[in-house]
Amino acid sequence: MDVIVGHSNADFDVLAGMLACKKLYPEAILTFSGSCERNVREFITLHKHIIEITRLRDIDLDRITRFIIVDTKIAGRLGIFEKLVKKRKVVVHLYDHHPRGPKDIRGKLEEIKEVGATTTILTQILKRRRIPLTHLEATILALGIYEDTGSFTFPSTTREDLEAISWLLDKGANLAMVSDFMNRELSASQVVLLNELLASCKPYLINGIRIDIAQAESEEYIGDIAVLVHKIMDLENLNVIFTLVRMGERIYLIARSRLETVNVGDIAQEFGGGGHPQAASATIKKMSLERVKKRLIKVLKEKIMPLVRAKDMMSSPVKTISIDTTVEEARKILLRWNHTGLPAMEKGRLVGIITRSDIDKAIHHGFGHSRVKGYMSTNLITITPDTSLSGVQSLMLEHNIGRLPVIKRKRMVGIVTRTDLLRILHEDMVKKPYSQYDLAPDLSKATRHKVRDLMKERPPKEIRDLLKRVGKVGDRLGMGVYVVGGFVRDLLLGIENLDIDIVVEGKGIALAQKLAKELGGEAKRFPEFGTAVVILPDGFKIDVATARTEFYEYPAALPRVEFASLKQDLYRRDFTINSMALKLNRRGLGDLVDFYGGERDLKKKVVRVLYNLSFVEDPTRIFRAIRFEQRYGFRIDPQTRGFIENALGEGLFERLGNERMRDELILILNEKKPLAAVRRMEEFRVLRYIHPEIRLNKRIVRILEEFERRREEYKRMLKGEKVSWWLVNLLALIEDLDLSQTRQLAKRFKFKRKNFDKIIASKEIKKYLIHELSGRKRILPSTIYKRLIKLPLEVLLLILSKSKSPRLKERVTLYLTTLRKAKLRITGEDLKELGLRPGPQFKRVLDKVFEARLDGEVKSKGEEKALAKKLIGKRNVLHYLD
């Protein structure tokens, strides 16, 4: 038996959703798990000839085989039907528009989408399947959508809701009937309850945000409390309200919010309910009104993020100069740090600010040698760490200034710039956490929000535990600790990444030493860079660095390092998608810090630099842009592409150290599928910097394609072997270079000796060898062995990838899988026992026996020994073996 169930306190969206489900499950019966709102009850009474609701007492739960749930995923709202969710023999189908929650019911079939109404989802299905509707059915579905979207005024309303209504109007929905039931007058008992709620409504300032809480009691059940809540919000012009109404033994919590910083759906979940960020409810049993209110206030304090204040947006530490710094030196510092102004200090005290405009004018008039003291502004406007966002905004507008020093106890602790303010004003500071059920997370514009769910489910447990230990060490040392870069990027993309890079707002080396001591490892320190590597007992490594910035004295130079803030540390990264950090300290654990829109670019699948001169300062980033673009299926954004083309046009690769270019090339060629990146390099004309004679012709492409296609097969074939997979791709890329050109390339890039030799070996393969191994003539396994034994594995893989000869491939594969692994069972000791004295004949006898083993002439140790005895027995052993 199929049953379609609407939850308790059902509204028109529930009723409409149930009737739509009836069109999809014609044999199902309709029922509610509890009471309905008054308007819904009256509507059902008026139209009971077409809306047949089965009473709970008439349903045999044991006969139910398919359970269709409408407008909820919370088991606690299903009354007696809750037990069906856990029955293995009962198939659950879900239709709901509320956000996912960690304790949600899971169904075999789930139609879940965050739109304004569940009825919208079902209307889309009916439209898709071309299921006909009567005029009354279309009107009921329209009622559901109109009610749950507040006649399309609620923030949860989507374009899909409007499209659904448009289709229902085409099917004959009667808006006059919709209006009649949407705008019904309040009953006498509702008016009494509304007045009691208004009288009790009291504001609370929680984390800087006004929250209104109203409470009331009624001996009788009164429906449609949500209607009363909306009236209170409109009458009192409230942003957030929670109402608590005790009726009988239950307390009904109804919440509404117009602020993105207050997600009432999350808060209702703490009471066993749920809903949207803007509208939610819960039914609470076995608690007094005062206890519920007390717990509600506690939950609000835990869940509501505080309003943004200066301390939340300021940059710290601040780059400052002395009043005795020359104007020209100040200009260089501004350029180096990409700032537009600098605070000037005297004996540790802020006394002025000089801007880029001030400096440009002074230099223009020939005063570059003068001290900044004579040109800085001394009429300072400052703020405190607790200055509100609106206060910061007002001061900047009123005084037309772009930066405000943050002063605490006469000491400058940070600075808020116009950029900081714009970022806060135009980006949502707090968004919902990623749902643990999202296959592709909805990457929002938020600069900081919780990703605890991702941290719990995606990294391996040992990595999660390790990061928690890092955070605890940071807490004890009073330092801000963050995991940054690729780990954060791949966490959001759902890709495993075990490279742990830690940035410390404090002394990175001190934290590394403490962490190594606690974990039983060692810390390798690099004091000149403020970095260290923690090496754990199992060999796992954690890179730890003090927050720092880098500047380049000239294009393509190696960077110089200065310690800085987290924001500046992230700014020195190559691309926005690599410039995010995840906080590890207990306070703020799981906060995603994204100053530069990395999360946004992940969603857009874009590779974007952080600043315009990025490729000028470090041209190797061109390789990395190509690598990330092709690895993730992203695209280099048009402006970044323009910067690449400009850097190449300026000949910056010619100033780049060959070793740095080599290392980036190896990383590209070591990708699982490097051909796309190589094609992109050819498109940007980067390959000519590897060697001017490299051409990506059809033959080279075919070799690279073949190796890419069979790489996993080769890995299985050579399991446990040390193979430089990137080197095979390089050998393919330089296939058309001659020996002299290849030697020149290998020397220029200063490859390690073993790789240098392998590169040269690829050019010294004799043509007769390839011809022999490709021929039809039968070749003994021992001959194959002797022909191939001196060739590196990478060269053999190149031969396999470029040859079209099945016989050659078969023979090389035989060597790789079998022949080179063959071992003799007899040793020199066995030869001594047979009476052979040590000497040149030892090796010759063993070699002859080994050849026989390869050719299948001997198989056991006894047969090997017998053959050796026979060889030794010859009158002239050396002559015979020759």
Q: What percent of the chain has pLDDT over 70?
A: 94
- The pair of structure tokens assigned to 636 is 């280099």
**Residue showing tokens 């200063």:** 750
Give the helix ranges, DSSP H, for 537-674: 566-571, 598-604, 614-617, 621-632, 638-649, 658-669
pLDDT tens-digit map of 573-604: 899 999 999 999 988 888 888 888 899 999 99
Evaluate whether 272 touches 353 at the Cβ level (below 8 Å): no
Res 700 pLDDT > 80: yes
pLDDT at 510 over 90: yes
Output the six-digit token pair for 516: 């190594």
Phi, psi of 608, deg, nearest 5: -135, 135
Residue keyed to tokens 């207990």: 586
Task: Tell me if 178 sits within 8 A of 139, measured CB to CB.
Answer: yes
Name the pLDDT band for 630 (thresholds 50, 70, 90).
very high
Identify which of 256, 279, 281, 278 has the alpha carbon closest to the alpha carbon of residue 268: 281
CA angle, 80 as apex, 75 and 85 as ends, to 5°?
Answer: 45
Whether residue 10 has pLDDT greater than 90: no
Q: Where are the beta strands (DSSP E) in 108-165?
A: 109-112
Residues 405/395, Cβ–Cβ less than 8 Å: no
Give the type of residue at 137. E
Angle of helix 793-802 relative to helix 698-717, nearest 10 degrees, comes to 130
**Amino acid of residue 775:** G
- For 178, the token pair is 């919709």
- Give the type of residue at 123: T
What pLDDT, on a 0 to 100 scale, did the predictor assign at position 88?
83
Q: Can you spell out the DSSP letters for 789-837?
A: TTS-HHHHHHHHHH---HHHHHHHHHHHHTGGG---S--HHHHHHTTPP
Distances (CA, A) of 499 to 533, 535, 591: 12, 13, 19
Convert the pLDDT of each residue in 706-759 to its tens digit: 999 999 999 999 988 899 999 999 999 999 999 999 999 999 999 999 999 999
Query: Which uninterrupted H or E stretch holds 493?
Result: helix 486-493
Q: Quote the CA–CA distance of 131 and 633 in Å, as a whole number.
A: 39
Q: Are 371 and 326 in contact (CB under 8 A)?
A: yes
Strand, helix or coil for residue 221: coil
Q: Is the peptide bond before 317 cis (omega within 30 degrees of 0)?
A: yes
Residue 865's SS3 state is: helix
Strands 321-322 and 500-505: unpaired
Which residues, in sequence order, are bridge partners of residue 93?
68, 109
Give the tens place of pLDDT for each residue, 311-344: 888 888 888 999 999 999 999 988 877 788 999 9
**pLDDT tens per residue across span 335-389:** 877 788 999 999 889 999 998 888 988 888 888 898 998 888 888 999 999 888 7
Check: CB of residue 29 under 8 Å from CB of residue 5: no
Average pLDDT over every residue of 852-878 = 84
Residue 516 pLDDT exceeds 70: yes
SS (H, E, C) 273-306: CEECCCEEEEEEECCCHHHHHHHHHHHHHHHCCC
Q: So what's the pLDDT on residue 422?
A: 78
How many whole angstroms separate alpha carbon 397 and alpha carbon 393?
A: 6
First to last CA, the chain: 89
pLDDT of residue 306: 67
Q: What pLDDT, in 10s, does the model give residues 160-213? A: 999 999 999 999 999 988 888 777 677 888 889 999 999 999 999 887 788 999
With beta carbons less than 8 A apart as the criterion, state whether 118 and 71 touch. Answer: yes
**Token digits for 616?**
């000028």
CB 402, CB 418: distance < 8 Å: yes
User: In terms of Cα–Cα distance, which of 212, 277, 270, 288 is closest to 243?
Assistant: 212
Contact between 511 and 544 under an 8 Å Cβ cutoff? The reply is yes
DSSP-assigned states of every residue in 370-431: SBGGGTSB-S---B-TT-BHHHHHHHHHHHT-SEEEEEETTEEEEEEEHHHHHHHHHS-S--
Are the beta carbons of 318 and 332 closer than 8 angstroms?
Answer: no
Q: Are 96 and 5 in contact (CB under 8 A)?
A: no
Question: Model pTM?
Answer: 0.58
Per-residue pLDDT at 550: 56
| pLDDT in the model for residue 130 | 94
Q: Nearest to residue 806, comparing CAs of 778, 785, 776, 763?
A: 776
What percentage of the chain has pLDDT greater than the value 90? 52
**Number of other CB atoms surrounding residue 89 within 10 Å:** 8
Whether residue 270 contacts residue 284, with contact meaning beta carbons closer than 8 Å, is answered with no
Kindly tell me the burial class for residue 716, based on how many C-beta atoms sit within 10 Å of its own C-beta (0-12, 13-18, 19 or more): exposed
Say if residues 43 and 12 touch (Cβ distance below 8 Å).
yes
Mean pLDDT rounded to a whole number for the chain: 87
Distance CA 592, CA 590 (A): 6
Task: Judge residue 473's burial from the number of C-beta atoms within 10 Å of its C-beta, 0-12 exposed, 13-18 middle, 19 or more buried.
Answer: buried
Output the pLDDT for position 551: 52
pLDDT interval class at 862 (50, 70, 90)? very high
CA distance linking residue 732 with residue 712, whole number of Å: 17
Residue 661 predicted with pLDDT over 80: yes
Report the distance separating Cα 323 and Cα 854, nearest Å: 83
C-alpha 298/C-alpha 270 separation (Å) is 11
Instruction: With cut-offs at 50, 70 and 90, classify the pLDDT of residue 559.
Output: low
| Burial letters 388-403, b for 16+ CB under 10 A, else e | ebeebeebbeeeebbb
Phi, psi of 34 (to 5 degrees): -160, -150
Q: Which two three-digit tokens encode residue 773?
A: 């191994």
- Tell me if 91 sits within 8 A of 105, measured CB to CB: no
Provide the pLDDT for residue 554. 46
- The pLDDT, as a whole number, for residue 109 is 92
What band does 275 get if pLDDT is binned at 50, 70 and 90?
A: confident
pLDDT of residue 557: 52
What are the DSSP E strand ranges found in 37-183?
66-70, 91-96, 109-112
Tell me which H or E stretch contains 535. Answer: strand 531-535
Bigger pLDDT: 338 vs 536: 536
d(CA 546, CA 461): 26
- d(CA 331, CA 267) in angstroms, rounded, equals 51
Give the per-residue pLDDT at 533: 95
* Whole-number Å distance between alpha carbons of 478 and 498: 26
CB neighbour list of residue 677: distance below 8 Å, 6 or more residues apart: 626, 627, 629, 630, 631, 668, 671
pLDDT of residue 846: 92
Question: What would the 3-class secondary structure string for 628-663 be?
Answer: HHHHHCCEECHHHHHHHHHHHHCCHHHHCCHHHHHH
The DSSP secondary-structure symbol of 736 reads T
